[in-house]
Structure 1
Amino acid sequence: MKLLKTYILIAILMISGQSFAQQTPAGKQTEAITIVGATAHLGNGEIIENSLIIIENGKIIEVTSKDLTKRQYPGKIINAEGKHVYPGFIAPNSTLGLVEISAVKATVDQDEIGEMLPNIRSLIAYNAESKIVESMRPNGVLLGQIVPRGEKISGTSSIVQFDAWNWEDAVVKEDDGLHINWPENYKRGRWWRGEDPDLKPNKEYMEDVQELSDFFSSARAYLEGKRDYKNLQFLAMEPVFNGDKKVFVHVDGEKEILDLIQFKKEHKLENLIIVGGYYALGVAEDLKNNDIPVLVNRPHSIPEEAYEDYDYPYKLAKLLQDKGVLVALESSGQMERMNTRNLPFYAGTVAAFGMDKEDALKLITSNTAKILGIDDNYGSLEKGKSATLFISEGDALDMRGNILTHAFIDGRKISLETHQTELWKRYSRKYKEQESE
């Protein structure tokens, strides 16, 4: 009897596991695919009406107007008349795959103990079977930069695609950037510890900045010296100094950004990107002159100060672009993993508040790819680039039109089913049956 109960329990677990299992990653592209008739939004500011897109071996081999070709279309034909084609959206500065359920400690793997951790790599902690990652794809978010959190130097990010068996299969660019959390010149007291919550000068600000500077100087001295002992933190800094690894600095204040620019010069950092940049507009000229891009935090936020325009977060990306700064959007903050699926609607909001729609599209495609250093293969629909794209019923930056019919990563036709879509279909059937009774 006990043995029978054991078998029944195993059977139940197997059935429930199958019901909620991750979608099986798509196999390699085996035949050519031709998408005919769609409005192609190339991601570089251009549009091709009534387009022809041919995909072979995971690459785009042709993007043109359908009327310009008189030959037989190769492979499988997808009639996309009346629909829209977009490059896959890219989510930078994300913790997708590092945390599944915040309240369950065993599923939280976004931070490590210590202050200076350039050797910590987010990639090996990335969970390719995360159900949250799976839910990105139906909205067209097909790639992301997976970033560790915490302390002064939180570690090294990597860029992945969102249809994989494991992190080895997922990786697009390994160890792409170092992430620094710049000290704040002003800080609010921690009310939960009985401190005054008002904004006050941070007396330790210069000391914290100096600590970062000393670490960079020590790392460079170690790398230029005999290296007669093994220091993992310093060894991880070598690609930073030779320009192979970008430096992403999470910072918002004007003074902090100006101090960061000086830090960049002192330590001869070639590829530096600001993440957040809430007050970057006040120093936009300095950012432009020093060739520093900004990953602007999600527009669906309220102003930080009472004196600011109510729509300041909505229009910040456009204001920075108007000043000549290279800009893209990121979605960190409260409930950031879930909210990453709203990335296209963040861009849509920026467009609604003054930016040209195709320029807004660049904020989550080609601009992001350029900032992350993957623009040679992703971010736009161009000949020779990866066939990472999707077909939408309507405007993909509008939640009413963002209805995907097909999606491809490196030419592989991926599933758009998730736990959420299964539940939606299940309860849609339920209420339709009730209406017919």
Structure 2
Amino acid sequence: MNKYSYILSLLFSASMFAQHAPAKKQSQSILILNATAHLGTGQVIPNSAIGFKEGKLTLVADASTIRLVDGAYDQTIDATGKHVYPGFIAANSTLGLVEIDAVKSSDDESEVGDMNPNVRSLVAYNAESKVIETVRPNGILMAQITPRGGTISGTSSVVQLDSWNYQDGVVKENDGIHLNFPSIYSSRGWWAEPSGAKLNKDYIKEIADIKSFLISTKASQGETSKERNLVFESTKGLFDASQTLFIHADHELQIIDAIKLSKEIGVKKIVIVGGFEAYKCADLLKENGIGVLLRRVHDMPEFDDQDVNLPYKMAKMLTDKGIVVGLENSGDMERMNTRNLPFLAGTCAAYGLDKEQALQLITANTAKILGIESFCGTLETGKDATLFISEGDALDMRTNKLTEAFIQGRKITLENHQSKLNDIYKEKYNQK
């Protein structure tokens, strides 16, 4: 191969696997008929009529109980035998913040320093990340983009996953600040040779440092000064209820201390992220109206004396206590594993939750926890037409096969570089 052919082949490869352009604004009204509609409210309509115009749902009804006027909708989709769902929401996600872990210049998930409430993950969000296109075919259409690192990591924002840039994608800017609560234990050894854990002797001091910092930021809110303090200014929303404090904590004592600290300093809204032992203080969470974004349920128990199925059962245990529960998927290979979010909910259904309750873990409940329930999370008239059609049960990896998906009424592509490779090699081996 000469150098010109080589260059052309590179250009062809680059264009073949380039990102798709975001879908254009909805111009034609659409009606989806005859599908089983899972509304996200717990209600199921076996033979539904779902209509939307200009990006908003205008009709959610049983098709057998209404009379449709000819021409009321520009396009009709016959979804007989299929299922319609509200778009799934990935909470506490680093989608778009890291492309390749080993390439430092593509890693924007954390900032230097320990107390960074002013860091905004949104401005680092790369809407053209190739990983984003791979999660949409499983129904994940929105995400809370969240920073990592330090004690106070920074501010998250909620985006829809089909945009040119973060300005186009944002649906709720700076929804909350993320606090990594001090750990009770400190690990010893390293990942290849772990040697157990020991109590963190600095636990009380680290809590006191957080308390001192937040009290100082609160006290500064009413001050006037020629010099602005962006770090202190950025916490204002915690004290006027315009932002949520997302507290990343797993153990019972951490959660209890986190709630106590928040009440002492006057934080209006908090959510527990992780919450492995949240079931141990469920009454306290319920009493204070605190939701939980439960950590990845495809996991093992932390201690030898715990039920091996405990991670799978936790969503039901908390739901039965009346706590609003959502799912998050942080951890190893979290961006690529975002596609498995529906199957985490499916596992929760297999271990006790009603299937429609399990659906709410990644739709209505998550929307409520993130403060976006007024316009998404369920299929209800007036809300955004962010939804998809699946051939079967979207919480089952065998039948989660999307045929069409819409974000704010815009029909998005479900093709990505992996599906293209699949088509190429099917052709190579003469498969249908």
Cα distance in 2, alignment partners of residues 244 and 94 from structure 1: 21
Query: Counterpart of 2:279 in 1: which secondary structure?
Result: helix
Cα distance in 1, alignment partners of residues 400 and 372 from structure 2: 25
Q: Which residue of 2 aligns with 1:103?
A: 102
Q: Which residue of 2 aligns with 1:14?
A: 11
Q: Which residue of 2 aligns with 1:276?
A: 274
Match of 1:44 among 41, 47, 51: 41
Q: Which residue of 2 aligns with 1:81?
A: 80
- Please tell me the root mean square deviation across aligned C-alpha atoms, in Å: 1.6
Deviation at 1:9, TM superposition (A): 6.4
Cα distance in 2, alignment partners of residues 430 and 248 from structure 1: 49
For residues 340-359 of structure 1, the aligned pairs below 5 Å read: 340-359=338-357
Q: Bigger shift: 185-194 or 200-209?
A: 185-194
Q: Which residue of 2 aligns with 1:380?
A: 378
Deviation at 1:393, TM superposition (A): 0.3
Query: Counterpart of 1:179 in 2: which secondary structure?
Result: strand
Deviation at 1:228, TM superposition (A): 4.0
Give the percent of matched residue pairs that are identical in Structure 1 and Structure 2. Answer: 52
Q: Bigger shift: 343-352 or 8-17?
A: 8-17
For residues 246-325 of structure 1, the aligned pairs below 5 Å read: 246-325=244-323
For residues 102-121 of structure 1, the aligned pairs below 5 Å read: 102-121=101-120
Call closer, same or farther: CA 1:117–1:75 in 2, change over 3 Å. Answer: same
Cα distance in 2, alignment partners of residues 348 and 192 from structure 1: 30
For residues 357-436 of structure 1, the aligned pairs below 5 Å read: 357-432=355-430
Structure 1 residues not aligned, in runs of 5+: none
Query: Counterpart of 1:106 in 2: which secondary structure?
Result: helix
1:158-180 deviation line (CA, Å, top 9, x unaligned): 00011011111111101111000
1:201-224 deviation line (CA, Å, top 9, x unaligned): 111111110110000111111112
Query: Counterpart of 1:422 in 2: which secondary structure?
Result: helix
- Specify the code of the residue in structure 1 equivalent to 2:321: K
Cα distance in 2, alignment partners of residues 330 and 316 from structure 1: 13
- Specify the code of the residue in structure 2 equivalent to 1:105: K
Query: Counterpart of 2:430 in 1: which secondary structure?
Result: helix
Match of 1:35 among 26, 32, 36: 32
Q: Bigger shift: 184-193 or 130-139?
A: 184-193
Aligned length: 429
Structure 2 residues not aligned, in runs of 5+: none
Cα distance in 1, alignment partners of residues 238 and 30 from structure 2: 40
Query: Counterpart of 1:337 in 2: which secondary structure?
Result: helix
TM-score (ref. length: structure 2): 0.96
Query: Counterpart of 1:240 in 2: which secondary structure?
Result: helix
Deviation at 1:322, TM superposition (A): 0.8
Query: Counterpart of 1:350 in 2: which secondary structure?
Result: helix
1:308-336 deviation line (CA, Å, top 9, x unaligned): 11110001111011111110100001111
Call closer, same or farther: CA 1:193–1:44 in 2, change over 3 Å. Answer: closer
- Specify the code of the residue in structure 2 equivalent to 1:40: A
Call closer, same or farther: CA 1:136–1:210 in 2, change over 3 Å. Answer: same
1:207 aligns with 2:228: no
1:294-353 deviation line (CA, Å, top 9, x unaligned): 000111111111111111000111101111111010000111111111000000000001
Query: Counterpart of 1:63 in 2: which secondary structure?
Result: strand
- Specify the code of the residue in structure 2 equivalent to 1:412: R
Deviation at 1:192, TM superposition (A): 6.7
